[in-house]
């Protein structure tokens, strides 16, 4: 399949050229001003979702008239909105580190799809090349608009309605200078400062803050300018997919032999280790290893095996000349054996957590196992249908689905609840499992866990309650402003944590200090 350059006639927005530097730069500047108001000294929250929606709305309006969005790409824009709004739900650091970049990538993909460039149906290698082209377009887009700055407003002045747009451009350009001059005049003259202070509270402003806001606005303006150019002109690549041309480098006999050799090793490994994988604590004692050492080392080794096996299967599928029944059987065997390895890794981690409890790292490790397991199931289906070329697409979509599920569950709240249940209701634990409460760790889980910790505090007794109460007061309440957060920073986790602390603030301040601390995690 060859990707052609997409050329579109320049449409009109009313009687104004919607792709003129005046329009694109004006929109980018307006978005930059909005973004600095949303993000400057504000925690990530609903501001991410608002920015994503504004960019998508503007880009959709700027798309070439009459250009349809590929039907396989219609999932991209809704997914971008979902991931943009997830920071308004969860504030866990690991989730933000995934959700925010994912939202940006999905917004960029949606903008490209608006221009009529198909994405989902493209081969994986072409998507990589297209991604590099898009990054270059975004970086160069701001420069192209700035290079056209001397002509700003000229295309509009000769059109109906152009004077209004030109006035808007002038106000946008004058705004930062008005602020600078007003601050300087206020510093130089007390009368002017008092007069202006009756309208604007300049005590909250400084030259340093103004410079910071301007730099932030300029950054967002640059990126938005590149995205708006992409919406109207698309991304170009004339390269044909490389991966299909690799087929035939390996004979079917050689490919089948490779997979059968690996299959034999997998079957031998599972057969030899079956007692240790599913035998529980009693079987483990025979190895002479500590439970912690065995579970950690075994888990990461098995995950590495699953990842490498998936990569090997995908690579052989790309280069094998013919898919004989013998070869397909070997490939399916490897896919199924990999699933068994993933299940054994999950079971091993479950035993470990039954013994020692939950941490955020173990939660995300299990989320990774879920992704590998679902990816392995997709691989088995795709191998059977001779569609392995879609495996990267399936892995990406499964990853997004797992990420949404993790956000819905709420890792920190889940971890806190599971560990508190071990203390308040330990009947389901193994006889030799740890039952201690690591109050210091629980109190540092963040805002997502605070409502759960406050909920369980009355159920605890004795030293456990005192330890959790004191650590909550020390780590979560002390020095915290319990007033409502500014709207751009709104997040459901953050607001629920604030309300929970407000309800229990006096009690938390009454707990006496505890000596030392204990750590039950392993």
The answer to whether position 7 is within a domain reads: no
159 pLDDT tier (thresholds 50, 70, 90): very low
Highest mean pLDDT among 75-89, 204-218, 295-309: 75-89
Q: Are residues 297 and 440 in the same domain?
A: no
420 pLDDT tier (thresholds 50, 70, 90): very high
Q: Are residues 178 and 320 in the same domain?
A: no
Q: Are residues 31 and 86 in the same domain?
A: yes
pTM > 0.75: yes or no: yes
pLDDT exceeds cutoff 80 at 142: no
Q: Are residues 346 and 488 in the same domain?
A: no
129 pLDDT tier (thresholds 50, 70, 90): confident
Q: Give me the mean pLDDT over the 89-95 stretch.
A: 94
Q: What is the number of domains present in the chain?
A: 3
Q: Give me the mean pLDDT over the 177-183 stretch.
A: 74
What percent helix, strand, coil does the chain show, rounded to 5?
A: 75, 0, 25
Q: Are residues 294 and 430 in the same domain?
A: no
Greater model confidence, 198 or 519: 198
Q: Are residues 388 and 466 in the same domain?
A: no
Q: Are residues 75 and 182 in the same domain?
A: yes
pLDDT recorded at residue 147: 61
Q: Are residues 291 and 328 in the same domain?
A: yes
pLDDT exceeds cutoff 70 at 124: yes
pLDDT recorded at residue 165: 54
The answer to whether position 407 is within a domain reads: no
pLDDT exceeds cutoff 50 at 9: no
With beta carbons less than 8 A apart as the criterion, state whether 227 and 141 touch: yes
The answer to whether position 478 is within a domain reads: yes
Mean pLDDT for all residues in the chain: 80
pLDDT recorded at residue 249: 78
> What pLDDT digit, counting tens, does each position of 77-87 carry?
999 999 999 99
Q: Are residues 59 and 207 in the same domain?
A: yes
For tokens 């751009």, the residue is: 488
7 pLDDT tier (thresholds 50, 70, 90): very low
pLDDT exceeds cutoff 70 at 162: no
pLDDT recorded at residue 296: 59
- The contacts of residue 54 (CB under 8 Å, 6+ apart) are 31, 34
Q: Give me the mean pLDDT over the 450-459 stretch.
A: 91
Domain termination site, one of 233, 261, 283: 233
Greater model confidence, 480 or 30: 30
Q: Are residues 217 and 280 in the same domain?
A: no
The answer to whether position 425 is within a domain reads: yes
pLDDT exceeds cutoff 90 at 189: no
Percent of the chain residues past pLDDT 90, beyond the cut = 29
Q: Give me the mean pLDDT over the 165-169 stretch.
A: 59
The answer to whether position 460 is within a domain reads: yes
> What pLDDT digit, counting tens, does each position of 335-348 carry?
988 888 888 888 87
pLDDT recorded at residue 89: 95
pLDDT recorded at residue 62: 87
> What pLDDT digit, counting tens, does each position of 365-390 carry?
899 999 999 999 999 999 988 888 89
The answer to whether position 293 is within a domain reads: yes
Q: Give me the mean pLDDT over the 437-454 stretch.
A: 90
Region class of 66: left (phi > 0), else alpha (psi between -120 and 50), else beta: left
> What pLDDT digit, counting tens, does each position of 20-55 carry?
666 788 888 889 999 999 999 899 999 999 999 999
Greater model confidence, 513 or 71: 71
Q: Are residues 433 and 385 in the same domain?
A: no
With beta carbons less than 8 A apart as the criterion, state whether 15 and 160 touch: yes
3-state secondary structure at position 290: coil
How far is the C-alpha of 247 from the C-alpha of 434, rounded, in Å? 54
How far is the C-alpha of 308 from the C-alpha of 302, rounded, in Å? 10
Query: If we measure between CA atoms, which residue out of 275, 270, 277 comes closest to residue 294?
Result: 277
Greater model confidence, 151 or 489: 489
The answer to whether position 112 is within a domain reads: yes
Greater model confidence, 124 or 265: 265
- The contacts of residue 283 (CB under 8 Å, 6+ apart) are 275, 276
pLDDT recorded at residue 133: 81
Q: Which domain holds residue 464?
A: 413-510
pLDDT exceeds cutoff 70 at 244: no
pLDDT recorded at residue 6: 35
- Tell me which of 401-405, 463-467, 488-492, 511-515 is least confident: 511-515
Q: Are residues 222 and 270 in the same domain?
A: no
Domain termination site, one of 330, 364, 393: 393
Q: Give me the mean pLDDT over the 488-499 stretch.
A: 93
pLDDT recorded at residue 131: 84
Domain termination site, one of 204, 233, 262: 233
> What pLDDT digit, counting tens, does each position of 217-241 carry?
989 999 998 898 888 776 655 555 6
Q: Give me the mean pLDDT over the 180-188 stretch.
A: 74
Greater model confidence, 19 or 44: 44
With beta carbons less than 8 A apart as the criterion, state whether 190 and 56 touch: no
Q: How many CA atoms lie within 13 A of 516 on its CB side?
A: 3
pLDDT recorded at residue 276: 59
Percent of the chain residues past pLDDT 70, beyond the cut = 75
pLDDT recorded at residue 178: 74
pLDDT recorded at residue 3: 42
How far is the C-alpha of 103 from the C-alpha of 81, rounded, in Å? 7
Region class of 250: left (phi > 0), else alpha (psi between -120 and 50), else beta: beta
pLDDT exceeds cutoff 70 at 149: no
402 pLDDT tier (thresholds 50, 70, 90): very high
The answer to whether position 403 is within a domain reads: no
pLDDT recorded at residue 519: 44
Paired residues of 469 in beta bridges: none
422 pLDDT tier (thresholds 50, 70, 90): confident
């Amino acid at each position: 399949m060859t990707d052609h350059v997409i050329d579109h006639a320049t449409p009109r927005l009313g009687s104004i050229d919607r792709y003129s530097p005046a329009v694109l730069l004006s929109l980018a500047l307006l978005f930059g001003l909005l973004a600095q108001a949303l993000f400057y000294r504000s925690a990530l929250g609903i501001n991410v979702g608002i920015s994503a929606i504004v960019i998508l709305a503007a880009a959709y309006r700027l798309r070439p008239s009459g250009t349809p969005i590929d039907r396989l790409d219609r999932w991209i824009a809704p997914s971008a909105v979902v991931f943009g709004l997830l920071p308004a739900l969860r504030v866990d650091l690991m989730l933000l580190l995934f959700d925010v970049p994912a939202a940006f990538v999905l917004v960029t993909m949606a903008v490209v799809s608006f221009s009529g460039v198909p994405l989902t149906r493209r081969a994986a290698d072409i998507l990589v090349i297209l991604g590099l082209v898009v990054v270059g377009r975004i970086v160069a887009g701001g420069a192209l608009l700035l290079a056209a700055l001397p002509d700003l407003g000229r295309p509009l002045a000769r059109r109906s309605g152009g004077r209004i747009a030109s006035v808007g451009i002038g106000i946008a350009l004058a705004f930062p200078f008005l602020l600078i001059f007003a601050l300087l005049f206020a510093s130089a003259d007390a009368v002017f400062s008092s007069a202006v202070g009756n309208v604007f509270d300049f005590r909250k402003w400084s030259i340093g803050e103004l410079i910071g806001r301007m730099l932030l606005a300029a950054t967002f303006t640059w990126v938005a300018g590149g995205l708006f150019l992409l919406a109207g002109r698309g991304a170009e690549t004339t390269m044909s997919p490389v991966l299909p041309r690799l087929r035939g480098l390996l004979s079917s006999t050689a490919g089948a032999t490779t997979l059968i050799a690996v299959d034999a090793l997998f079957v031998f490994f599972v057969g030899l280790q079956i007692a240790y994988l599913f035998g529980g604590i009693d079987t483990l004692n025979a190895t002479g290893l500590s439970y912690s050492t065995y579970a950690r080392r075994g888990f990461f080794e098995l995950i590495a095996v699953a990842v490498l096996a998936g990569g090997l299967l995908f690579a052989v599928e790309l280069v094998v000349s013919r898919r004989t029944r013998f070869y397909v059987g070997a490939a399916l065997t490897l896919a199924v054996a990999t699933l068994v390895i993933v299940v054994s890794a999950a079971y091993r981690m479950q035993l470990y957590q039954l013994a020692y409890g939950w941490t955020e790292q173990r939660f995300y490790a299990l989320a990774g196992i879920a992704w590998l397991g679902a990816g392995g199931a997709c691989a088995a289906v795709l191998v059977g249908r001779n569609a392995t070329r879609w495996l990267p697409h399936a892995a990406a979509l499964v990853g997004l689905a797992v990420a949404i599920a993790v956000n819905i569950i709420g890792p920190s709240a889940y971890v806190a609840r599971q560990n508190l249940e071990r203390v308040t209701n330990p009947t389901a634990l193994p006889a030799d499992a740890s039952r201690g409460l690591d109050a210091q760790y629980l109190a540092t889980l963040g805002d997502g866990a605070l409502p759960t910790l406050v909920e369980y505090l009355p159920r605890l007794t004795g030293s456990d309650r005192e330890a959790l109460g004191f650590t909550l007061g020390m780590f979560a309440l002390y020095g915290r402003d319990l007033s409502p957060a500014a709207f751009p920073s709104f997040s459901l986790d953050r607001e629920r944590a604030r309300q929970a602390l407000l309800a229990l603030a006096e009690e938390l301040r009454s707990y006496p200090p505890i000596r030392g601390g204990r750590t039950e995690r392993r």
